[in-house]
Structure 1
């Protein structure tokens, strides 16, 4: 055969994806075609998919975090959080931009999804920012998209759950590792927002009277308690991250329906339906990755890559640089979960061989992939915000460029200084 079965498998995935077939389906079809060409048992495809999906307790966290985020979006939790953030940082120049970032940092402790943050908080905060033309719509969209990438970095994090699945790394320590980089991103975005706000003379919001602060804080208190309960439950040893996801979903349901009484039966039904569709979509992608990763294993691609890099005497810093550059490029073209499930597993054996800590590597990979959500032409958050605000994509990209630069600076810091990621996990007993 002129072209190898593995090459035909890769070509099949690319062509089917280009024709509009969901990437998960494309991987399943192309991988089965590979098995057929190699004369292997086609039942292996079903076996790999079923074993991967039903034997992984970790995967249960994904639908539960999605449900928790959707429940918070339909309840009044988001409104109360934004009002609380307005008390904290609204009085500074460009205050609503700061509110946008801080609210995403708090909401990140509940949802674990950048899209959920952008749609949930974004719709409300963009309306606040653009009311009476206080901020340009494109700028409001750009800072909302930028702030939303903090969601999957500060724990909990759906991409980190996926990385834990492919790397066999502790989810708890990955979550802890993401906390400091997430806060660094938030501070970097607020610094950039302050610079732009002063340069463009964006308005200062009226200070909220001190007598109103206790009432606003009390109204937001049940919403603020969710990340506290979740994180202390996980790191206090009371529950696993998957059980924590179930607790987050239950608490979001309880707060929205009982404490705030802001959800109707109709809304609850539609939310469960929406969460189910999102879960099914991710499930098909993971199923496709399971069988494709089996194909990659048969072809011995990770070991071949490791030998290639060892042959070039590649050091750990050079490897990290190469991986980051490659992931940044791929992030412009591919969806993040696809990169995590197809590309990242190939690098893990080499990272191990070079002595790179897999928690550090995982957090750097997730931050890198989140930046990909902001970079054209594929940046998914850009499309979501462009559709939400009816603004030209190019205008949003221009406004997002300073925030993309700040996120790249943070990426360089955490990639070159492992302690920026590993300090907190080690504080909680991590031995890596």
Structure 2
């Protein structure tokens, strides 16, 4: 087991260092580990079977639909309407523009299911606007990057679907509902940091808009916000499954973008479909190779070994959960969320369950934890997108990111040690 584990880890990081795609690193490392035990053809056949088996799930059909829905929303004028709505509602508060940035990223991330899309769509407008009002460009970029990650927790979220599959069948509906309070908690902590930042520098607040104009802005954004109500309301009400909800989300997004807002032309749809297919292919290949790696880890009894080691290290559940969080934060800084969830869920979920933690609670904790990695160097995709939009560098963003990181970490600790934050809504709706 020790030699196999060293081969797996060694080959994986060696390939990662030469900048190969992470899916290739995972697949080749898994094959190398198998070849240590059996001949070439049986090894290749076994891995192929495990990759196909990892994709043989009805729930995975939701991913291409939610990806397509997010792309349609991103191109269909949703971001601008959400920003205007947020500005009308909270722009007059201390740090108003920064608060609008956080709220817009949270709403758009939740609607599109993509932190990268939220960073690009919201950041391209809000970062220049904040700079005009006196905000430091690097701080504005940091706010956008951290706030965009809340879309990974607030449904519809593809990563929650992937966790549901990796955990062996946790209810996607329960996970979707469970993500709301933690997502709002993270956004609230980020807003608090923004308000303190603005007050300490004496930034002026935005003018309060007339009630009639506020109502107009809210009504303009309401059709976009209804997507969340339709998807979650239908799932909780038992009208359709999460997979069926994803198809309905596409139809609704198509209606908004093409018919109602008229910002997506019919001739643009083939390009959007092609882009959605490309993103889906990347995600599915990652899931396939990660499923094979998860199987070899289980075959080599790695989860049980790590579980035993953690329980020997300490009998205090608080300490063990802190260790798991620290490990996942480090992992999130170097690895994309999809393979991280698929590889580490089978390792850490049994440990969490042995401590009395529910799979729903652990899933939200894990996704929130890895979301921090999305805006952390050296691999954080959202961090790079935010730097590109703001035309700045990661080095300049680190200092203004620190208080925002602290806010996210405090929220993570609260979610970790207070199960009700994740479990209250699922229990309220009878989903767990």
Q: How would you bin the TM-score normalised by the shorter chain?
A: over 0.9
Residue of structure 2 equivalent to 1:243: 244
Q: How many residues align?
A: 428
Q: Matched residues in 2 for 1:395 and 1:312: separation?
A: 39
- The question of whether the paired residues in 2 share the 8 Å contact of 1:78 and 1:120 is answered with yes
Residue of structure 2 equivalent to 1:108: 109
Q: Matched residues in 1 for 2:23 and 2:160: separation?
A: 19
- 1:369 and 2:395 aligned: no
- The question of whether the paired residues in 1 share the 8 Å contact of 2:311 and 2:320 is answered with no
Residue of structure 1 equivalent to 2:398: 397
- The question of whether the paired residues in 2 share the 8 Å contact of 1:316 and 1:356 is answered with no
Q: Matched residues in 2 for 1:134 and 1:271: separation?
A: 37
Q: Matched residues in 2 for 1:118 and 1:256: separation?
A: 20
Secondary structure at the aligned position of 1:346 is classed as: helix
Could you tell me how far 1:343 is from its partner in structure 2? 2.1
- The question of whether the paired residues in 2 share the 8 Å contact of 1:382 and 1:397 is answered with no
Q: Give runs of aligned pairs for residues 150-189 of structure 1, distance below 5 A.
A: 150-167=150-167, 168-189=169-190
Residue of structure 1 equivalent to 2:231: 230
Q: Matched residues in 1 for 2:341 and 2:16: separation?
A: 17
Q: Matched residues in 2 for 1:133 and 1:187: separation?
A: 22
Could you tell me how far 1:313 is from its partner in structure 2? 5.5
Secondary structure at the aligned position of 1:116 is classed as: helix
Residue of structure 1 equivalent to 2:430: 429
Q: Give runs of aligned pairs for residues 53-72 of structure 1, distance below 5 A.
A: 53=55, 55-72=56-73
Which has the higher mean CA deviation after the structures are superposed, 330-339 or 364-373?
Answer: 330-339
Residue of structure 2 equivalent to 1:300: 301
Could you tell me how far 1:217 is from its partner in structure 2? 2.5
Q: Matched residues in 1 for 2:289 and 2:214: separation?
A: 50
- The question of whether the paired residues in 2 share the 8 Å contact of 1:316 and 1:355 is answered with no
User: For 1:298-318, what per-residue CA distance to the aligned partner results, in whole angstroms no more than 9, with x for missing partners?
Assistant: 101112223333444634322
Residue of structure 1 equivalent to 2:54: 52
Secondary structure at the aligned position of 1:355 is classed as: coil
Could you tell me how far 1:72 is from its partner in structure 2? 0.9
Could you tell me how far 1:258 is from its partner in structure 2? 0.5
Could you tell me how far 1:203 is from its partner in structure 2? 3.0
Q: Matched residues in 2 for 1:5 and 1:322: separation?
A: 24
Could you tell me how far 1:104 is from its partner in structure 2? 2.2
- The question of whether the paired residues in 1 share the 8 Å contact of 2:102 and 2:190 is answered with yes
Q: Matched residues in 1 for 2:143 and 2:223: separation?
A: 27
- 1:14 and 2:35 aligned: no
- The question of whether the paired residues in 2 share the 8 Å contact of 1:328 and 1:369 is answered with yes
Against the structure 1 CA distance between its residues 134 and 266, is the aligned structure 2 distance closer, same or farther, given a 3 Å change threshold? Answer: farther
Against the structure 1 CA distance between its residues 283 and 304, is the aligned structure 2 distance closer, same or farther, given a 3 Å change threshold? Answer: same
Which has the higher mean CA deviation after the structures are superposed, 310-319 or 31-40?
Answer: 310-319
Could you tell me how far 1:408 is from its partner in structure 2? 0.7
- The question of whether the paired residues in 1 share the 8 Å contact of 2:63 and 2:280 is answered with yes
Could you tell me how far 1:175 is from its partner in structure 2? 1.4
Secondary structure at the aligned position of 1:251 is classed as: helix
Q: Matched residues in 1 for 2:411 and 2:385: separation?
A: 24
RMSD between aligned residues:
1.8
- The question of whether the paired residues in 1 share the 8 Å contact of 2:258 and 2:266 is answered with no
- The question of whether the paired residues in 2 share the 8 Å contact of 1:71 and 1:252 is answered with yes
Secondary structure at the aligned position of 1:150 is classed as: helix
Q: Matched residues in 2 for 1:82 and 1:44: separation?
A: 50
Q: What residue ranges of structure 2 are gaps of 5+ in the alignment? A: none
Q: Matched residues in 2 for 1:128 and 1:292: separation?
A: 45
- 1:35 and 2:31 aligned: no
Q: Matched residues in 2 for 1:265 and 1:17: separation?
A: 41
Secondary structure at the aligned position of 1:109 is classed as: helix
Which has the higher mean CA deviation after the structures are superposed, 230-239 or 114-123?
Answer: 114-123
Q: Matched residues in 1 for 2:211 and 2:353: separation?
A: 54
Secondary structure at the aligned position of 2:334 is classed as: coil
Secondary structure at the aligned position of 2:93 is classed as: coil
Could you tell me how far 1:320 is from its partner in structure 2? 0.9
Residue of structure 2 equivalent to 1:74: 75
Q: Matched residues in 2 for 1:393 and 1:48: separation?
A: 38
Could you tell me how far 1:110 is from its partner in structure 2? 1.4
User: For 1:58-98, what per-residue CA distance to the aligned partner results, in whole angstroms no more than 9, with x for missing partners?
Assistant: 11122221211111111112111111111100112321111
Q: Matched residues in 2 for 1:341 and 1:117: separation?
A: 24
TM-score normalised to structure 1 length: 0.94
